[in-house]
Amino acid sequence: MNTETTEDDFLGGRLKLLQLKDGFRAGLDSVLLAAVANVEPGEHVMDVGCGAGVAGLCLLARVPGVQLTGVDQEAEAVRLCTDNAARNDFAAAAQFVEGDVFDLPELTGRDKFDHVISNPPFHDPERERLSPRAGKAAAHALRQGAPYSAALGLWIGNCLATLKTKGRITLINRAEALPAILAALEGPAGAIEVIPLWPKSGEPARRIIVRARKGAKTEAKLAPGFVLHQADGNFTPEIDAALRDGEPLAV
Give the pLDDT band (50/70/90) at residue 217: very high
Q: What pLDDT was estimated at residue 83?
A: 96
- DSSP calls for 145-203: TS-HHHHHHHHHHHHHHHEEEEEEEEEEEEGGGHHHHHHHHBTTEEEEEEEEEEEETTS
Relative to beta strand 44-48, strand 113-118 is parallel
Indicate whether 46 pLDDT > 80.
Answer: yes
Higher pLDDT among residues 90 and 3, named by residue: 90
Indicate whether 137 pLDDT > 60.
Answer: no
Distance separating alpha carbons of residues 111 and 163, to the nearest angstrom: 5
Higher pLDDT among residues 146 and 72, named by residue: 72
Q: How many domains does the chain have?
A: 1
CATH number assigned to the domain comprising residue 104: 3.40.50.150
Domain presence at residue 226: no
Domain presence at residue 199: no
Give the residues across from 123 on adjacent strands: 141
Give the pLDDT band (50/70/90) at residue 138: very low
Domain presence at residue 232: no
Give CA 29 to chain center in angstroms. Answer: 8
Q: What pLDDT was estimated at residue 21?
A: 80
Distance separating alpha carbons of residues 142 and 148, to the nearest angstrom: 7
What is the pTM for the complete model shown?
0.91
Domain presence at residue 59: yes
Q: What pLDDT was estimated at residue 111?
A: 96
Domain presence at residue 171: yes
Q: What pLDDT was estimated at residue 29?
A: 95
Domain presence at residue 173: yes
Indicate whether 201 pLDDT > 60.
Answer: yes
Domain presence at residue 140: yes
Q: What pLDDT was estimated at residue 27?
A: 84
Q: CB neighbours (10 Å) of residue 182?
A: 16
Domain presence at residue 91: yes
Averaged pLDDT, 93-120: 95
Q: What pLDDT was estimated at residue 202?
A: 95
Structural domain of 129: 22-187
